Chains A and B, each alone.
Chain A
């Protein structure tokens, strides 16, 4: 599938998905029949705004029906230097969407010589979710969260999406996936304007912890194997993943708090 030298009236511009369709690599093809529960599912992811940007977090578990199919999946990844994407839903489709989205941002940046605006990136992701609607109707649902640092406005911003590609900007926090309900509640209770970075990280970890407590498809911190959720901050300095050492300390404190309550629930 070699790309030809396009004439100027026939040029696909900076759109990588359009280019892929031109060369016969359509990334979004709906399955012929219902395909729910045929592939692993990725679950709880969230994002919270804080004073200097946003925190994104996601657990590491992928499930297939009631089986754990993967313990160390990474559902929260950098989209580029100043934005990240987190995905819940059908893992295979989601991973391909992430890959395509990252490529789209890089492709545009290389062709046009400057990156897409943060809002433009959210819009691009929205179009990809919409393109997946046929597959989503057959059960291969992908619901992302997009967050990043808007250098034009000097603030963190975040968006959630529905399966039709509907794009909703949130001002405070967002959580989605099977454990999204309990995670949202924790975020709602703990959120206040202008959280510091370490407070926002702690809040995100607590939300994942509580989601894992009640939702079997959400994985908690796995101290036995040393697998912790993916937590990252995005600020003016770009994407920074929080190290497992820091997360271990945060989760130990949360576990100690649970123990101090003296309750099993």
Chain B
């Protein structure tokens, strides 16, 4: 009879966390910052169709880094729950906090009970009527839920990016000032990122009922400059 080897719970959790962290760190990062009119989300993403940032509901956006199929499944879960809740109750009853809790539950459950943890880190952002009501919920691969103030960084190299971002960021910036700062923080001192490397969206208070809006490459280029600067190498 085969006896399973004993693995200490600490070791098992550590192995899983290492596995998830490695998966997430391979992907490129994403930042979200408050600006004067709402929340700005910027991801490093060369794909124009496989999105990291998307709309969940009138005032709520979703952003994910890590394994695409895993965070996309979570995104769909969010859209569905928000739409069903808005249909059964009212549009005003759909809020980010409840959704963030659901995500934390799912990620936590999967982390402890499934063979493989989800290799994702996600953000649920809600733009408030006033700036003080804006919310950024950052959820980690193990279900840890963090209510962040002002800025949030997801993905590989997060600490360095957060360091650069907090030294320049201000909640009173207009979009044209906030976007270059976010891009510079993502790029770091040695690289420059052009509009083609970026996926940018805002949750804007002045955008009517549906606050979410993508900024296309032309708009981003006009703010951060330079689309197609040097020819990019196909790999990364």
Residues of A that sit less than 8 Å from B by CB: 1-3, 5-6, 11, 16, 19-20, 23, 25, 99-100, 103, 106-107, 110-111, 113
Contacts and interface: CB of A to CB of B under 8 A. Distances in A.
A5 to B, nearest CB: 5
Identify the interface centre among A1, A3, A16, A110: most chain B CB within 10 Å of its CB.
Answer: A110
Kindly list the 10 A-B residue pairs having the minimum CB-CB distance in the complex, ordered from nearest.
A3-B80, A110-B79, A3-B81, A5-B77, A107-B83, A110-B55, A3-B84, A111-B79, A103-B87, A19-B80
Identify the interface centre among A2, A5, A100, A113: most chain B CB within 10 Å of its CB.
Answer: A5
Interface of B: 49, 51, 54-56, 73-74, 76-77, 79-81, 83-84, 86-88, 102, 106
Contacts of A106: 83
Nearest to B84: A3
A99 B56 CA distance: 18
A113 B212 CA distance: 13
B76 A111 contact: yes
B83 A5 contact: no
B80 to A, nearest CB: 4
A63 to B, nearest CB: 28
A100 B87 contact: yes
B88 A25 contact: yes
A108 to B, nearest CB: 10
Nearest to A23: B84
A5 B95 CA distance: 19
Nearest to B69: A8
B47 to A, nearest CB: 12
B54 A20 contact: no
Contact of B81 (A2, A16, A100): A2
A107 B84 CA distance: 10
A5 B69 CA distance: 13
Contact of B56 (A16, A19, A100, A110): A110
B51 A113 contact: yes
Contacts of B54: 110, 113
Nearest to A107: B83
A113 B214 CA distance: 11
B84 A1 contact: yes
B76 A25 contact: no
A6 B51 CA distance: 20
A15 to B, nearest CB: 11
B71 to A, nearest CB: 12
Nearest to B103: A5
Contacts of B51: 113
A7 to B, nearest CB: 9
Given A107-B83, A113-B54, A5 B49 contact: no
B107 to A, nearest CB: 11
Given A5-B74, A110-B55, A110-B56, 11 more contacts: A3-B81, A16-B83, A16-B87, A19-B83, A23-B84, A25-B84, A25-B88, A99-B87, A103-B86, A107-B79, A110-B79
Contacts of B81: 2-3
A73 B81 CA distance: 30
B116 to A, nearest CB: 15
Contacts of B56: 110
Contact of A3 (B55, B77, B86): B77
20 contacts: A1-B88, A2-B81, A3-B84, A5-B73, A5-B77, A6-B76, A16-B87, A19-B80, A20-B87, A99-B87, A100-B87, A103-B83, A103-B87, A107-B83, A110-B55, A110-B79, A111-B79, A111-B80, A113-B51, A113-B54
Identify the interface centre among B55, B76, B80: most chain A CB within 10 Å of its CB.
Answer: B80
A115 to B, nearest CB: 12
